[in-house]
Amino acid sequence: MSRISWNQYFMAQSSLLALRSTCERLSVGATIVRDKRIIAGGYNGSISGGVHCRDEGCYVIDGHCVRTIHAEMNALLQCAKFGVPTSGAEIYVTHFPCLQCCKAIIQSGIKKVYYAEDYRNHPYAIELFQQSGVETELVPLEKQYDLTSQSSHRKMAFTEELLSELMKSDADTETVEHLKEKFKALYENDKPTMIT
């Protein structure tokens, strides 16, 4: 097996951080790196000690969850909290940064953004990155390093097994059908082996 590249190593770190996310809508992780050393990491979630979306659902206003702090902001705030300079650093994010995170990244002096997936790439964010000289590069995380995907597939397999066992038991047919529909909706983008 060949040695993991730096880009895959840092993107895998961001994927691992995303597993700590408490957001129900999208799990995001961010890793700030300077001179091939990790200086901070963050994931999207509620303020310290606050209510989590996982516990009470997302608090959505105008299509955005206002309860969460984005992964990039959490990583930048960690640097600010501990006095770690970000000028000249790079950031690895699981998803393309939103417009507000884009502006914070630019203001922090970060010189390059690596992202694993396109996600609602705002045209003005793209323009601002170009205008400010901050490079962006799509670096898809290779499957063997994608911990979020592996975790999702394990959960999916367990849920399939559980539903299969329920269908074999004396469980109410209407209840089983309802659970199968919820399963299909939950994993519709993961292309599971659907239970029929």
Q: Which of 72, 117, 165, 181 is catalytic?
A: 72
The amino acid sitting at 51 is V
Catalytic status, residue 161: no
The rounded distance, in Å, linking the Cα atoms of 1 and 100 is: 40
DSSP states of 126-195 = HHHHHHHT-EEEE-PPPGGG-HHHHHHHHHHHHHHHHHHHHHHTT--HHHHHHHHHHHHHHTTTS-----
**Closest of 30, 28, 24, 25 to residue 10, by C-alpha:** 30
The rounded distance, in Å, linking the Cα atoms of 181 and 183 is: 5
For 39-63, give one letter per residue: b (16+ CB within 10 A) or e: bbbbbbbbeeeeebbeeeebeeeee
- Positions annotated as catalytic residues are 72
